[in-house]
A and B are shown apart, each in its own frame.
Chain A
Amino acid sequence: MPKRETDDEILARIGLDTLAATEKHRTRRAFRTAFFFMAPAVAFVSIVLLFPVLYNIYISLTKWRRFSGFDEFAGARNYTRMIDNPFFAEALANTAIWVVASMTLPLAIGLGLAILLRGAPGEGAFKNIIFLPRILAPTVVGVLWFYVYAPDGVLNRALGVATGREVDIGWLYQDNTVTGAIIATFVWQSVGLVMVLILLGLAAIPRDPIEAATVDGARPWQVFRHITLPLLLPTLLVVTILSVLAGFTAFDLLWVMGVPYPGQRTLSLAVFMYFEAFQKGAWAFGSALAVVIGIVVLSVTWVQAAMQARIDRMTK
C-alpha cells in the first residue's frame, strides 16, 4: 500500500508550494488568535486544577516531614498502610453501601414516581414538592435532618404515634443506623431531580411506536418493557452515574450530620480522607486516599462513557 500523502505533500507535488505555504501560514495564524481566546481558561484550569492533581499523586508517594515537607520518597507505603488500617476497612465498607444505595434507590423511586405520575392529576404540584429539597444546600438539608433524627425529634415522635410506644432511637449516634439515616436524607434531596430528568426523557420518547403496539394489543407492561424502557435507557444511565458519583464523593451531609457519631471518620472514604489529612495531619496518607477515590471515580466515568457509546451504536 502506498504511503498516504499529507495535504502539504499533495500541494507541493502539484506545484502549488506557495499556496501550501500560505495555507500553513493561515492555520498557524488562526491557531495564534484562537489561543489568545483560550489562554485564560487553559491557564486557570491547568494551574489551579490539573497541576494539583499531579501534585497530589506525587505527595501520595512521599513521606511528610514537618520541616523538609514532601522530599522523602516512600514508594507505595502510603497505599499498603491502608490495608491494615481498621478505620479504612470500615470507611470502605460504608462507601460500598453508599455506592449500592445511590445506584439503586434514587433510580427506583424516581422511575416509579415518574411513571405513576405522568399525566396524573396534580402532577405539576407533586413534582414541585419532591423537587423542593434540591434548591437547598446540602449543608442546610443536613442541619434540618440532624434535628429530624434527634432522639426527641420528629421522626421518633412519628414512630411513637405509629407504634403506640415511646421511641428514642439515636439515629445519628449508632453504628447500625447512622449510614442508613444519612443515605435516606441523600435520597430525600436527590430523588426530585432524578424524577424530573426521567420525566424529560419520557417526554422525548415518540408516541407512534407505543400507540402502534397498543393498537396491536400489547399490555401496558409489555409496552413498558419492550418500548419505553429501551428508549429510556440513555437517560437512566446518565441519571444512575450522576447519583453514584454524587453518593460516592458526598461530604457535606456526612460532615454536618455525622457530628454526634463517635466513628465519624469511618462514614465514607471522602470523610476519612479529610479526617486523616486535615485533622490528624497525615498528609501523604490522605493524598493516597484521594488517589484511590480518584481511581474509582475515573473508572465509573469510563464505564459510563463505554456504555454510552454502546447504547449510541445500538440506537443508530
Chain B
Amino acid sequence: MTTETNPAVQFTPERLVKAQEIIARYPAGKQKSALLPLLHLLQEQEGWTSPEGMDYVARMLDIQPIEVYEVATFYTMYHINPVGKHVIEYCRTGPCCLMGGEEVYDHLKQRLGIDTGQTTVDGQFTLKEVECLAACGMGPVFQVREKYYMHLTNERVDEIIDELSK
C-alpha cells in the first residue's frame, strides 16, 4: 500500500450507525452508491472532505481512494479545502441577478470584507459562488449549510450575518 492512512479521521458512533444504514440501502455489491451520501456525512462532521477523510470513506466502501477523489472534485458541494465555520453559498445565475442579486452580493462581500472563495480572518465565514439553487422566484438567494435564505436585500443580509455571528 502506498496510501498513507490517517486513523485520526473516523465517524462518531452515531454517524457510524448512520453510515452503515446508508450502505445497507443498496443492493449487495453496489455499496459504492453510498459514496455521495457518505461524503456529505463526512463534510457535516469535519467541515470539509479532507484527504484523510476521503481515504477513510474509501476503506469503508472497499474502493480505491482515487475513486473518491474523482467524485469529490467533480461535485461542487464538497469542500476539498478547509472552510470557515459558516459557508455562505450565493446563487449567481440569471434569475437571481434579475432580482438584484449582483448588488446584494456586492454588499455581502463588503460586509464580510472578503471576496468569493475567501474566508474571513476569524475563520467565521467562507464565501462561495454557486450556480442556480432552484429558488429563482424567491431570489436573490443564498444557502448556509441546509438553510436557504431567500428574498435577500442588503438589510436582510446584515441581519443574517449578525445572527450567524452570535
Partners in one complex: no
Interfacial residues, chain A to chain B (CB-CB below 8 A)? none
Interfacial residues, chain B to chain A (CB-CB below 8 A)? none
